[in-house]
Structure 1
Amino acid sequence: MIQSQDIFTLTSQKQFDKLALKVFRFQYQNNKVYREFCDFLKTNPQEVKTIQQIPFLPIQFFKSHQVISSSETIQETFTSSGTTGMITSKHLVTDISLYEQSFRNAFSEFFGNIEDYVVLALLPSYLERDGSSLIYMVNDLIERSNNEHSGFCLNNYDELISKLVSLDNSGENVLLIGVTYALLDLIEKQNFQLKNTIIMETGGMKGKRKEIIREELHATLSKGFGVQNIHSEYGMTELLSQAYSFGNGIFECPNWMQILIRDTEDALSYVDSGKTGGINVIDLANINSCSFIATQDLGKKHPNNSFEVLGRFDNSDIRGCNLLVL
């Protein structure tokens, strides 16, 4: 049986590979949808010896199937955002503590103690619907920051502007997490010069604005907030882990998450570092669902395992986190 401590204490590539293969065999045995997909590809689990040989389930399966590797009771159902009438993804979570351990450990690894921050969240389109995994995470971070000033802001921009300026001027460490279009709305109302605030965009225009490339977006946000770098979060409904960027769109994964870049012409082979392809995600925290997901995002990986998100295969279905279409 795979324990949570096996996932969140990984320290080497060798350990990661060994656990990934163990998770693959577990999910092949216990996930009916994933097993049928592997069998369709004529994958013999006994012959899978490297992570590159593991089949990656196309993310679209979360829209049409129950992708689950556990018989336990479902504790949370996370759903993707989408326009009216669009079929959305459903992520059935049987052990919410795995998600909590994943995002808490990752935040601590990348940003330090949550209690050192005032956490402000500008996520109107997420707050206006049920089932957002991002809202679940941010709400937990707000509560654990244990700061009276932390909280969500819906459309009360004037109040947020006043609070942001006051907190920044008083020397507080502030983390403002915002959906892209709302951050742009905010800097159209106020030109900031922030010195103690991290701006983290979670991507997505949600149909409110025209999609723009990351370089242009970050230049606009940097100027508007008066900060040098714009941080980013890369996550999605179907995962239980996130990658983070400290600027320039270069993302890093926590130790239990990795990215592979598949060939756009041959989904079962991979391209070298520096070349563009489809993003495959290994998320070992997602043990009770599927840890091996082929996303619709385009990206490229660097030799140090960091990566960039460059766009999407199909811009007819724009949703989720950090999906900035070229």
Structure 2
Amino acid sequence: MEHNAIFNIQTEEDFLTQALRIFKFQYDNNQVYQSFCSYLNTDPNTVHTLEQIPFLPIEFFKSKDVLSTKDTPQITFTSSGTTGSETSKHFVTDLGLYEQSYLKAFRHFYGDIKDYCVLALLPSYLERTGSSLIYMADDLIKKSNHPESGFFLNEYEQLHQLLLKLQKTNTKILIIGVSFALLEFTEKYNMSLPNAIVMETGGMKGRRKEIVRQELHELLSKGFGVQKIHSEYGMTELLSQAYSKGNGVFDCPAWMKIMVRDTEDPLTYLNTGKSGGINVIDLANINSCSFIATQDLGKINQDDTFEIIGRFDNSDIRGCNLMVL
């Protein structure tokens, strides 16, 4: 199936055209998704709008092989989960498509990755295998071509000295880190980094008490000496990410879209500004499933940005979830 068309989307009409094309492809080729659609009595020939497309509950990735191709997976991304909980598995048959997605999205929101020194403070992810975030961060580090770019496990003093050095040379810095590690760093060091983008990927992962996003960002802003804390919204089951440049307000790349469903009636969609369950359309996820009903709660703003406001009470704690507001 032709993939590049999704990265040329310019209008809402373009998005709908590609979404319907991919829906029909996945209905025909993804046995798990087709069975789910059939359970809802969905006739693909009568689907003409985004609202008519069924969204596969994200829990299916824990128990089923969600694939729309017979190609052999090049890699299997897994969720972190908690002790004793079942993890999601995302079988990726085209790593090039994943790389295109995150590189094009990063360029759209932040410019050329070669302009940055990329520092990844992701200890909990480095301590396990199968993380899609580690794959992306590793590739960004390599493509930055900066000699100081790299991963940090718990070498906080080494990171501190490097940041001081980079700040003196006015180097543009991207610090991408899991929330508890960023907090631990700011409790040891107080910095002023006007040339830095600090991007939290969410999750205390059982390492610290959960705090609301506003408090987290205030602490991190003060500790790193930056005005805003950026955030990344992604998950194991997706091949695309949305980004926030502050205040927890996220933008999607052109091939990704958020819809908000009624928590009491998952087939009903809510108007702008009303809170409900987050459905994600990720057109880059062609070879898996592009239409996923997550366990996140959120709302869409008037300008099509969105906010995450928590999670369903009965859902597992996930590695990539954001702070509960």
TM-score, normalised with respect to structure 2: 0.98
- In the TM superposition, 1:18-33 aligns within 5 A as 18-33=17-32
Counterpart CA distance in 2 for 1:320 and 1:294 is: 17
- Does 161-170 or 185-194 show the bigger shift? 161-170
Counterpart CA distance in 2 for 1:26 and 1:168 is: 49
Counterpart CA distance in 1 for 2:323 and 2:144 is: 30
Q: Identity over aligned residues, as a percent?
A: 64
Counterpart CA distance in 2 for 1:213 and 1:297 is: 15
Q: Determine the structure 1 residue equivalent to 2:200.
A: 201
Counterpart CA distance in 2 for 1:212 and 1:62 is: 28
**Counterpart amino acid of residue 266 in structure 1:** D
Matched, 1:244 2:278: no
Counterpart CA distance in 1 for 2:29 and 2:313 is: 31
Q: Structure 1 residues 316, 62: CA separation in 2 closer, same or farther (over 3 Å shift)?
A: closer
SS in 2 for 1:317: coil
SS in 2 for 1:184: helix
Counterpart CA distance in 2 for 1:302 and 1:313 is: 20
SS in 2 for 1:107: helix
Q: Determine the structure 1 residue equivalent to 2:54.
A: 55
TM-score, normalised with respect to structure 1: 0.98
**CA drift at 1:324:** 1.5
Matched, 1:305 2:304: yes
- In the TM superposition, 1:1-326 aligns within 5 A as 1=1, 3-314=2-313, 317-326=316-325
Q: Which runs of 5+ in 1 are unaligned?
A: none
8 A Cα contact 1:34 1:290, kept in partner:
yes
8 A Cα contact 1:233 1:321, kept in partner:
no
CA RMSD of aligned residues (A): 0.9
**Counterpart amino acid of residue 36 in structure 1:** S
8 A Cα contact 1:296 1:314, kept in partner:
no
Aligned residues: 325
Counterpart CA distance in 2 for 1:204 and 1:319 is: 8
8 A Cα contact 2:82 2:317, kept in partner:
no
SS in 2 for 1:14: helix
SS in 2 for 1:278: strand
Superposed structure 1 runs of 4+ greater than 4 Å apart:
none
**Counterpart amino acid of residue 94 in structure 2:** D
**CA drift at 1:166:** 1.5
Q: Which runs of 5+ in 2 are unaligned?
A: none
